[in-house]
Structure 1
């Protein structure tokens, strides 16, 4: 099974690094299960799929993970989201609430996580997010940033 990380890293069956990933199949399966659970959860907690994809696209772009950007963009465009979600995905900061706060938070955690404080959670609450939504957002941020780093690492291995 080729997963999203394989696709983004350009791996295919028979490739040395594809096979290397399969030495720990639980990690490959786990990453794919995490991807599905943060992008298409059974209970979206009020953070709908288009919003999740827009945020994933934004984070992939911040990390310069262009293969993931293309994948997230294709998924997002297929959903025909409203313009504010496309603007969010494309990196706009001129957004209405709560998208402006979500963009600020995603950018902060993606680019400078060490600068995050409890006040950043308070800002999410003030923008109308409840605790389950904040947890779901945190899971999404954690996964996409993990995914971009795994893909970057695989690109480095392939270039060595």
Structure 2
């Protein structure tokens, strides 16, 4: 059983210099793991099922192009819903891009940073289902077009059957995964520096 997912994703071995470094901030380490546990081992699945959580995580990790996180969350999804994994991987392929994107209204100085970019829509909605299709589109928006997230995207989730609590949980999942993936990537980078 994995006791610290960030350590696992970063490839940190017990007693290594990075393990000792992370040990200097035990509260940060503990709270990151507790956040993972709360999101991926919830006491209730009334609002967001485990399959939905793992499908969203596999999708978001794939969008971040992080092989360790993509494999980790794909493996979790494969345990619960093996038939869904290929569909999620196809959606990651369809939604793969760089970013961030978004359009600033008007002609002010920020409009110079406007970049239309990809506007992702689920390619296989009949296989993903209404709820996950809306969740994937919202997650893609948060990852690549965060400044455009607003009432319209929240209304789309509500229209697909997501409750207010479910929408909050979905948004927390995306935010936490982005944090977790970036921390693990930074630690892997540090590890390479320490090894050379």
**TM-score (norm. length: structure 1):** 0.90
1:42-98 CA-to-partner distances (Å, cap 9, x unmatched) read 12233111110111111111111211111112222122x163x32553142222312
Alpha-carbon RMSD: 1.7
Other structure's SS at 1:38 match: helix
- Give the number of the structure whose alpha-carbon radius of gyration is greater: 2
Query: What is aligned with 1:130?
Result: 163
Q: How does 1:106-117 map to 2 (within 5 A)?
A: 106-117=139-150
Highest relative contact order (Cα 8 Å, sep 6+), 1 or 2?
1
Distance 2:90 2:136 in 1: 8
Q: How many pairs does the alignment contain?
A: 158
Distance 2:3 2:131 in 1: 36
8 Å contact from structure 1 (residues 88, 99) kept in 2:
no
1:103 matched to 2:104? The reply is: no
1:51 matched to 2:84? The reply is: no
Deviation at 1:2, TM superposition (A): 4.8
Unaligned runs of 5+ in 1: none
1:4-52 CA-to-partner distances (Å, cap 9, x unmatched) read 1111111011211111111011111111110011111112233111110
